[in-house]
Amino acid sequence: MTTSLGADQSERTETPSAATSGKELRGAHLDDAHLRGPNLSGADLRRADLFCANLSGANLRDADLSGADLSGADLRRADLFCANLRDANLRGANLRGANLRDVNLRDAGLRGANLRDANLFGADLSGADLSGANLRRVNLRGVDLSGADLSGANLFCANLRGVDLSGADLRDANLFGADLSGADLSGADIRGANLSGTNLPVIGAITALKWSSMTLWGRDTGEIWARSVEQSEGVYVLNPTGRQADAFADH
């Protein structure tokens, strides 16, 4: 493992002290480091290499981790309140039970990440890649997921009330038992998704939602069929807009 923190780094790799709070660690190489429980609040970790690092229980409040490589990192129960993780690579990271309240995760890569039991209230996940992520029973109220890639994600019994999912990719996602009441699904893609037992928004309020014959609705199927137009074989658009709306009128 290589570092860029100075000559005495070998003494700090295992258990950094509270003196690291606010320290500039921009571009540091801390891959595979064991940093469990350190105080890194306010630290500058922009573009840092934290591949597979152990940061479980770490205090990273207000830290700047934009562009950092946290792929495969252990962030269980870490406190990332108000941290900046924009464009960060968190692919396969373990964020179970982490505090991600008001975190900036815009355009972040979270493919295959474990977010179970994490607190994501007020987080910005717009444009993020959450494909295949574990969001089972996660409370996502107040989260911006517009344009996010949630294809193949596990959203079993997740709380998505009032969440902005406009333009999101939810293909093949598991939304069984999820609460989507009041959510914005305009322009989203739910082809092949499982919505069995899901609490849906008002059907008439959903616009340009793409679905397929493989989508499992579970309820309101009569109204959904009546309000949809076939776009291509086996692919439909619920409450289409623009030219598709004209086709719907003819339908």
Q: Which runs of E-coded beta strand occur in the chain?
A: 209-212, 228-232, 235-238
The domain in which residue 240 lies consists of: 125-251
Q: Are residues 134 and 72 in the same domain?
A: no
Q: Are residues 245 and 171 in the same domain?
A: yes
- The verdict on 149 and 229 lying in the same domain is yes
Supply the mean pLDDT for the chain. Answer: 87
Of 96 and 219, the structure prediction assigns the larger pLDDT to 96
Closest CA to 164 of 125, 198, 199: 125
Number of domains in the chain: 2
User: For residue 115, is it within any domain?
Assistant: no
CATH of the domain at 21: 2.160.20.80
Distance (Å, whole) CA 114 – CA 94: 5
| pLDDT tens figures, 44-100 | 999 999 999 999 999 999 999 999 999 999 999 999 999 999 999 999 999 999 999
pLDDT value, residue 80: 98
Domain identity same for 63 and 130: no
| 9 pLDDT higher than 70 | no
- Residues 161, 229 within the same domain: yes
Q: Is 232:200 a contact under the CB 8 Å cutoff?
A: no
Last-in-domain residue among 61, 87, 113: 87
For residues 194 and 73, state if they share a domain.
no
Residue 219's pLDDT band (cuts 50, 70, 90):
confident
Q: What is the pLDDT of residue 242?
A: 67
Regarding whether 60 and 132 lie in a shared domain, the answer is: no
In a domain, 50, yes or no: yes
> Widest CA span of the chain, in angstroms?
74
The model's confidence at residue 245, banded by pLDDT at 50, 70 and 90, is: low
Instruction: Of 79, 73, 75, give the one whose Cα is nearest residue 59.
Output: 79
